[in-house]
Structure 1
Amino acid sequence: MNSLCPRFEKGMQLLGRRWTGLIIHQLLPGPQRFCTIESALPISAKLLSERLKELEQENIVRRDVYPDTPVRIEYSLTAKGLALQTVIHEIEKWSSEWIELDEETD
């Protein structure tokens, strides 16, 4: 059990970072360009760029550059990222059932 604790802790820290879970959720349907992700989430371009780089370093997100004119860059989930689909969907299901929103938040 002790050998799993550091890995679990690291996983929770990674997924618990602000916007990380929502970025992964946004990429579940397939590859997307930066501007698409940015317009779907209320996040600054700087912070989105930072989070995408972190997820790339963790091999959760892949950044593909296409030599079109202009250059096209798409982000997608790796196999490691896609493995989070069940977790993300279970959190979504749990939230629908158990989380109440304030009327101001709607």
Structure 2
Amino acid sequence: MVEGSQLMQAEAGERYEVFHTDCPARHVVDHVTSRWGVWVLIALRNGDLRFYRLRESIQGISEKMLAQTLRTLVEDGLVWRKVEPTTPPQVTYGLTEFGQDVGEPLTELFDRITRRL
């Protein structure tokens, strides 16, 4: 296969073929570009947020969908999660370095779209 956008260099010389259905990178792209994944990453670009503040900032998302989206993004290494041992527990979310890298072009895309409208 010709090297291009469909191939990514991974650690230790491993290559990902992003157009193959079993490619791990493809799954991360699916999660980032899901209906709510984009909004979570954009919302967290402004700083760390507790669960309910994040939910308030993304209008239209249900508590269940936010929890599911956050769980997936944490598993992908895009978002970190910190639980404070209080009653009730306080859970804070923020972007990892990987999440910041991925969120930057999403924010730029969002800004371009809103400027054109």
**Structure 1 length normalisation: TM-score?**
0.79
| 2:88 is equivalent to residue 80 of structure 1 | no
Question: Any gaps of 5 or more consecutive residues in structure 1?
Answer: 101-106
Task: Please give the per-residue CA displacement for 1:51-85, whole angstroms capped at 9, x wherever unaligned.
Answer: 00000000101110122344211011111101123
Rounded Cα–Cα distance in structure 2 between residues aligned with 1:71 and 1:11 = 28
Residue 11 of structure 1: how far off its partner (Å) = 4.7
Larger relative contact order (CA 8 Å, sep ≥ 6): 1
| 2:72 is equivalent to residue 54 of structure 1 | yes
SS state at 1:84 partner: helix
Structure 1 residue aligned with 2:46: 29
SS state at 1:73 partner: strand
Percent identity, aligned pairs only, is: 23
Rounded Cα–Cα distance in structure 1 between residues aligned with 2:38 and 2:65 = 14
For the aligned residue pairs, the C-alpha RMSD in angstroms reads: 2.0
**Structure 2 length normalisation: TM-score?**
0.72
Number of aligned residues: 99
Residue 97 of structure 1: how far off its partner (Å) = 4.1
Question: Any gaps of 5 or more consecutive residues in structure 2?
Answer: 9-16
